[in-house]
Amino acid sequence: MKLRKSTKILSIGLVALLFIFGVYYFGIYNSVKEISIDCNYVAYENTEDLSNAADLIIVGSTKNTINERKNIVLTDDNDNGFWSQTYTLTNIEIKKIIKSIDKKLDEEIQIIEPFGFVQEFDGKKLIKYDDYEPLSDNQLYLLFLKDNGYGEYSIINMQNGRFNLQSKEPLKNEKYKEFYDSIIKKYENEIKVD
Protein backbone atom coordinates (compact mmCIF):
# COMPACT_ATOMS: atom_id res chain seq x y z
CA MET A 1 0.00 0.00 0.00
CA LYS A 2 2.82 2.39 0.90
CA LEU A 3 4.62 1.45 -2.32
CA ARG A 4 1.58 2.34 -4.40
CA LYS A 5 1.17 5.66 -2.63
CA SER A 6 4.84 6.63 -3.09
CA THR A 7 4.73 5.50 -6.75
CA LYS A 8 1.65 7.65 -7.29
CA ILE A 9 3.30 10.66 -5.64
CA LEU A 10 6.48 10.09 -7.66
CA SER A 11 4.44 9.83 -10.89
CA ILE A 12 2.54 13.03 -10.13
CA GLY A 13 5.80 14.78 -9.30
CA LEU A 14 7.41 13.59 -12.53
CA VAL A 15 4.42 14.74 -14.62
CA ALA A 16 4.48 18.12 -12.86
CA LEU A 17 8.23 18.42 -13.49
CA LEU A 18 7.80 17.57 -17.19
CA PHE A 19 4.97 20.11 -17.43
CA ILE A 20 7.11 22.84 -15.83
CA PHE A 21 10.04 21.97 -18.11
CA GLY A 22 7.74 22.07 -21.18
CA VAL A 23 6.34 25.46 -20.21
CA TYR A 24 9.87 26.79 -19.67
CA TYR A 25 11.29 25.31 -22.88
CA PHE A 26 8.48 26.31 -25.22
CA GLY A 27 7.27 29.43 -23.42
CA ILE A 28 10.48 31.04 -22.21
CA TYR A 29 13.64 29.44 -23.65
CA ASN A 30 12.36 29.50 -27.25
CA SER A 31 10.71 32.92 -27.02
CA VAL A 32 12.30 35.74 -29.04
CA LYS A 33 12.73 39.25 -27.72
CA GLU A 34 13.95 42.03 -30.01
CA ILE A 35 16.65 44.37 -28.73
CA SER A 36 17.99 47.35 -30.66
CA ILE A 37 21.48 48.58 -29.85
CA ASP A 38 22.71 52.02 -30.86
CA CYS A 39 26.03 51.91 -32.65
CA ASN A 40 28.47 54.16 -34.44
CA TYR A 41 28.83 53.85 -38.18
CA VAL A 42 29.54 56.08 -41.14
CA ALA A 43 26.20 57.40 -42.33
CA TYR A 44 25.82 58.54 -45.92
CA GLU A 45 23.19 61.20 -46.34
CA ASN A 46 22.90 61.19 -50.13
CA THR A 47 22.95 58.85 -53.09
CA GLU A 48 26.33 59.97 -54.46
CA ASP A 49 28.19 59.53 -51.17
CA LEU A 50 26.68 56.09 -50.63
CA SER A 51 27.49 54.99 -54.20
CA ASN A 52 31.06 56.25 -53.95
CA ALA A 53 31.65 54.57 -50.59
CA ALA A 54 30.42 51.15 -51.74
CA ASP A 55 32.99 48.67 -53.05
CA LEU A 56 30.23 46.50 -54.43
CA ILE A 57 26.71 47.36 -55.55
CA ILE A 58 24.56 44.41 -56.56
CA VAL A 59 21.03 43.34 -57.23
CA GLY A 60 20.46 40.04 -55.50
CA SER A 61 18.16 37.90 -53.42
CA THR A 62 18.57 35.88 -50.25
CA LYS A 63 19.33 32.19 -50.73
CA ASN A 64 18.31 31.05 -47.25
CA THR A 65 15.65 31.84 -44.70
CA ILE A 66 16.45 33.88 -41.61
CA ASN A 67 16.61 30.69 -39.51
CA GLU A 68 19.02 29.00 -41.95
CA ARG A 69 21.51 31.87 -41.97
CA LYS A 70 24.79 31.49 -40.11
CA ASN A 71 24.67 33.40 -36.85
CA ILE A 72 28.00 34.52 -35.33
CA VAL A 73 28.25 35.39 -31.63
CA LEU A 74 31.53 36.75 -30.28
CA THR A 75 32.25 36.73 -26.56
CA ASP A 76 34.25 39.28 -24.64
CA ASP A 77 37.96 38.86 -23.91
CA ASN A 78 37.38 37.91 -20.26
CA ASP A 79 36.12 34.50 -21.35
CA ASN A 80 33.19 34.77 -18.97
CA GLY A 81 30.65 33.68 -21.56
CA PHE A 82 29.05 37.07 -22.12
CA TRP A 83 28.52 38.00 -25.73
CA SER A 84 30.04 41.23 -27.01
CA GLN A 85 28.99 41.22 -30.66
CA THR A 86 26.76 39.30 -33.00
CA TYR A 87 26.18 39.37 -36.72
CA THR A 88 24.71 37.14 -39.41
CA LEU A 89 26.16 35.72 -42.61
CA THR A 90 23.58 35.72 -45.39
CA ASN A 91 23.99 34.02 -48.75
CA ILE A 92 22.95 36.23 -51.65
CA GLU A 93 22.36 35.06 -55.20
CA ILE A 94 23.77 37.80 -57.43
CA LYS A 95 21.39 38.73 -60.23
CA LYS A 96 23.34 41.75 -61.45
CA ILE A 97 26.57 43.56 -60.56
CA ILE A 98 26.33 47.34 -60.83
CA LYS A 99 29.70 48.24 -59.30
CA SER A 100 32.59 46.02 -58.29
CA ILE A 101 36.25 46.30 -57.34
CA ASP A 102 36.52 42.49 -57.31
CA LYS A 103 36.61 40.92 -60.74
CA LYS A 104 36.38 37.33 -59.40
CA LEU A 105 32.84 37.30 -58.03
CA ASP A 106 30.80 34.13 -58.24
CA GLU A 107 27.05 33.91 -58.78
CA GLU A 108 26.63 33.78 -55.01
CA ILE A 109 28.18 35.84 -52.24
CA GLN A 110 28.01 35.67 -48.46
CA ILE A 111 27.43 39.07 -46.83
CA ILE A 112 27.45 40.32 -43.25
CA GLU A 113 24.20 41.72 -41.86
CA PRO A 114 24.20 43.78 -38.63
CA PHE A 115 21.89 41.58 -36.57
CA GLY A 116 22.09 38.26 -34.80
CA PHE A 117 20.45 35.87 -32.38
CA VAL A 118 21.83 35.23 -28.89
CA GLN A 119 20.44 32.33 -26.86
CA GLU A 120 20.24 33.08 -23.15
CA PHE A 121 18.61 31.35 -20.20
CA ASP A 122 15.57 33.62 -20.36
CA GLY A 123 15.05 33.16 -24.10
CA LYS A 124 16.43 34.05 -27.48
CA LYS A 125 17.36 37.68 -28.16
CA LEU A 126 17.22 39.17 -31.66
CA ILE A 127 19.92 41.82 -31.50
CA LYS A 128 19.50 44.52 -34.14
CA TYR A 129 22.01 47.32 -34.53
CA ASP A 130 20.31 50.71 -34.99
CA ASP A 131 16.95 49.04 -35.69
CA TYR A 132 18.35 47.31 -38.78
CA GLU A 133 15.76 45.01 -40.35
CA PRO A 134 17.15 41.72 -41.70
CA LEU A 135 16.77 41.01 -45.40
CA SER A 136 13.44 39.30 -46.07
CA ASP A 137 13.42 35.76 -47.41
CA ASN A 138 13.32 35.39 -51.21
CA GLN A 139 13.12 39.11 -51.92
CA LEU A 140 15.14 41.04 -54.51
CA TYR A 141 17.36 43.83 -53.12
CA LEU A 142 19.68 46.55 -54.28
CA LEU A 143 22.63 46.19 -51.86
CA PHE A 144 25.49 48.58 -51.11
CA LEU A 145 28.43 46.63 -49.72
CA LYS A 146 31.94 47.31 -48.50
CA ASP A 147 34.89 44.96 -48.15
CA ASN A 148 35.79 44.72 -44.45
CA GLY A 149 39.48 44.08 -45.16
CA TYR A 150 39.18 40.30 -44.71
CA GLY A 151 37.55 39.60 -48.06
CA GLU A 152 34.04 39.72 -46.60
CA TYR A 153 31.38 42.20 -47.63
CA SER A 154 28.99 43.92 -45.28
CA ILE A 155 26.02 46.19 -45.81
CA ILE A 156 26.97 49.82 -45.30
CA ASN A 157 24.76 52.66 -44.11
CA MET A 158 22.60 50.25 -42.07
CA GLN A 159 18.97 50.36 -43.24
CA ASN A 160 19.88 52.87 -45.96
CA GLY A 161 22.27 50.41 -47.60
CA ARG A 162 19.67 47.82 -48.63
CA PHE A 163 16.61 48.49 -50.70
CA ASN A 164 13.84 45.97 -51.37
CA LEU A 165 12.92 46.00 -55.06
CA GLN A 166 9.93 43.66 -54.88
CA SER A 167 7.80 44.94 -52.08
CA LYS A 168 7.59 48.19 -50.22
CA GLU A 169 8.85 47.66 -46.72
CA PRO A 170 7.49 49.99 -44.08
CA LEU A 171 9.34 53.26 -44.52
CA LYS A 172 10.39 54.49 -41.11
CA ASN A 173 10.17 58.17 -41.81
CA GLU A 174 9.96 60.77 -44.56
CA LYS A 175 13.76 61.11 -44.75
CA TYR A 176 14.17 57.38 -45.44
CA LYS A 177 11.38 57.52 -48.06
CA GLU A 178 13.15 60.38 -49.86
CA PHE A 179 16.46 58.47 -49.72
CA TYR A 180 14.78 55.30 -51.03
CA ASP A 181 13.15 57.21 -53.88
CA SER A 182 16.43 58.90 -54.87
CA ILE A 183 18.29 55.55 -54.91
CA ILE A 184 15.61 53.88 -57.04
CA LYS A 185 15.58 56.83 -59.44
CA LYS A 186 19.39 56.85 -59.79
CA TYR A 187 19.58 53.10 -60.47
CA GLU A 188 16.27 52.57 -62.28
CA ASN A 189 17.96 51.30 -65.47
CA GLU A 190 20.53 49.13 -63.68
CA ILE A 191 18.11 47.36 -61.33
CA LYS A 192 16.09 45.78 -64.12
CA VAL A 193 16.76 42.06 -63.96
CA ASP A 194 15.86 39.55 -66.67
Confidence of residue 99 (pLDDT cuts 50, 70, 90): very high
Mean pLDDT for 71-100 is: 82
Which pLDDT does position 131 carry in this prediction?
82
Among residues of the chain, what percentage have pLDDT more than 70? 88
**Residue 124: domain span:** 32-186
Is 151 a domain residue?
A: yes
Are residues 13 and 75 located together in one domain of the fold?
no
Which pLDDT does position 4 carry in this prediction?
74
Average pLDDT, the chain: 84
Which pLDDT does position 80 carry in this prediction?
63
In 3D space, the residue among 160, 124, 139, 156 whose CA is nearest the CA of residue 53 turns out to be 156
Which pLDDT does position 29 carry in this prediction?
66
Confidence of residue 114 (pLDDT cuts 50, 70, 90): very high
Is 191 a domain residue?
A: no
d(CA 50, CA 144): 8
Is 193 a domain residue?
A: no
Q: Which of 7-11, 124-128, 139-143 has the lowest mean pLDDT?
A: 7-11
Are residues 6 and 43 located together in one domain of the fold?
no
Q: Which residue has the higher pLDDT, 19 or 39?
A: 39
Total number of domains constituting the chain: 2
Are residues 19 and 88 located together in one domain of the fold?
no
Among residues of the chain, what percentage have pLDDT more than 90? 32
Judge whether 111 and 153 are in contact, CB under 8 Å.
yes
Are residues 47 and 8 located together in one domain of the fold?
no
Are residues 57 and 17 located together in one domain of the fold?
no
Instruction: List C-alpha distances in Å: 85 to 29, 42, 71, 91, 150.
Output: 21, 18, 11, 20, 17
d(CA 17, CA 147): 51
Helix (H, G, I), strand (E, B) or coil at 56: strand
Q: Which residue has the higher pLDDT, 81 or 115?
A: 115
Q: Which residue has the higher pLDDT, 114 or 16?
A: 114
Is 192 a domain residue?
A: no
Spatial strand order of the sheet with 32-37 comes to 32-37, 123-129, 115-120
Are residues 96 and 108 located together in one domain of the fold?
yes
Are residues 62 and 115 located together in one domain of the fold?
yes
Are residues 6 and 70 located together in one domain of the fold?
no
- What pLDDT, in 10s, does the model give residues 148-194? 888 899 999 988 899 999 877 666 667 778 888 899 899 988 887 76
